[in-house]
Structure 1
Amino acid sequence: MATRGRKPKPTAFKVLEGNPGKRSLNMNEPKPEKKAPKCPSWLEPEAKKEWRRMSKQLEKLGVLTQVDAAAFAGYCQAYARWKEAEEFLSKHGTIFKTPSGYIQQVPQVSIAQTYLKIMRDFCSEFGLTPSSRSRIAVDNAVKDSADPMEKLLMRRHNG
């Protein structure tokens, strides 16, 4: 059975945002090690390039952890397939004429749209869009701390 309402935001994001709702934070939320997982060997070559391009940056932000491998692989694979469809469209166009003379859209148009939507969903999970990033504020004074909860507690203790 599906849960109702809006999907909850991870506590680490709430802390980085400054807990704007001032609701109590989940102190018992699992805190996986903030280390990028190893790139899966089965990813397409373009997906592996995207993995290498983004994983270290997300690791630095504390967003990508060992347990996020499947979700991040999904993002990278969707990126690779979206890029492939877009490259096809750039080279061959978006429509073609059928043997009977009708104008039709090439399948790559809907493929690109589908994978762009999948990518957008993953991007918001990892804070990879301007709007999802705009809700996150990094406090430089405690930026080097490994644990977002530690940052929050330090802020409350010092401030």
Structure 2
Amino acid sequence: MTHLRGVKPALSPDREPLTKTPPAPKWLSEDARGEWKRIMPRLIADRIVTRADLTGIENYCVAVGHVRAIERTFATTGTLDKTLFGMQNRAMQTARQLAAEYGLSPVSRARVGGNAADDDDDDNPLTIGRNRR
């Protein structure tokens, strides 16, 4: 029996990816729109995003926008409000999880395109540095 719990499949280019960046939704905050403009060219170039993914990208941008807005509040007031800190923490977690879905983190970018070309098919990490036949 194959056990795949906790194993994420490799990201790969989609069959029907978007070929140009759609405009950021007007309802996004300024911070969220800025994040949209920052990430979308990369996602389009990697051929990862389809129309069906746009809601997830919007949600990622909203979460990043909340993180930045709350951080500005902390900087402006000079105080750390526990409630806002909790909201910011949850927004950071959401943004991180969504970023991983779309190849926006170092680990998920490494998964784009599948397996490395120089894989020696040796899954035993203890053989590193040993002479192999």
| TM-score, with structure 2 as normaliser | 0.68
Paired residue for 1:50?
A: 35
Aligned residues of 1:47 and 1:77 also touching (Cα < 8 A): yes
Q: 1:85 to 1:115 in 2, by over 3 A?
A: same
Q: Aligned pair 1:79/2:64, yes or no?
A: yes
Aligned AA (1:133): R
CA displacement at 1:39 relative to structure 2:
2.1
Residues 82-139 of structure 1, C-alpha deviation per residue, up to 9 Å, x if partnerless?
A: 11011112232444xxxxxxxxx4321111101000100101001111122233358x
Aligned residues of 1:86 and 1:108 also touching (Cα < 8 A): no
Aligned AA (2:15): K
Distance (whole Å) between structure 1 residues aligned to residue 7 and residue 60 of structure 2: 19
Paired residue for 2:110?
A: 134
Paired residue for 2:17?
A: 33
Rg comparison, structure with higher value: 1
Q: 1:7 to 1:72 in 2, by over 3 A?
A: farther
Unmatched tracts of structure 1, length 5 or more? 14-29, 96-104, 139-159
Paired residue for 2:120?
A: none
Segments of 4+ in structure 1 off by > 6 A? none
Aligned residues of 1:37 and 1:65 also touching (Cα < 8 A): no
Aligned AA (1:12): S
Structure with more contact order per residue of length (Cα contacts < 8 Å, sep ≥ 6): 2
Unmatched tracts of structure 2, length 5 or more? 115-133
| TM-score, with structure 1 as normaliser | 0.58
